[in-house]
């Protein structure tokens, strides 16, 4: 199962590149799709609790379309994702 966490990381990395120039609420929905709706999400959430933080911030982004708080949540998401990547690679 360890390959799956690397797939999750790669998918979120791809989402954050935002090559299609999507709005932040759309990126949030993609992050939810890459995390929360996975069948193995609970396993990885238990093993990597910061994954739950990233997923929750993605879900929050979905609701903040165009708000001032949206950019702050996105930056927080990126910072937490960086920590998740470090945790997974160590």
Note the pLDDT tens digit of each residue in 40-72: 888 888 899 999 999 999 999 999 988 889 999
> Where does residue 81 rank: exposed (0-12), middle (13-18), buried (19+ CB within 10 A)?
buried
pTM of structure: 0.90
Going from N- to C-terminal start, the domains of the chain cover 2-89
Could you give the CA distance from residue 9 to residue 6 in angstroms, rounded to a whole number? 5
Confidence of residue 1 (pLDDT cuts 50, 70, 90): very low
pLDDT digits (tens, 9 = 90+) for 3-22: 889 999 999 999 999 999 99
Q: Which residues contact 40 (CB under 8 A, 6 or more apart)?
A: 1, 4
């Amino acid at each position: 199962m360890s390959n799956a966490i690397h797939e999750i990381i790669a998918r979120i990395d791809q989402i954050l590149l935002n090559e299609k120039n999507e709005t932040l609420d759309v990126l949030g929905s993609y992050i939810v799709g890459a995390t929360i709706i996975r069948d193995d999400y609970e396993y990885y959430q238990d093993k990597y609790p910061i994954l739950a933080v990233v997923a929750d911030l993605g879900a929050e982004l979905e609701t903040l379309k165009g708000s001032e708080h949206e950019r702050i949540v996105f930056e927080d998401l990126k910072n937490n994702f960086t920590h998740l990547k470090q945790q997974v690679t160590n």
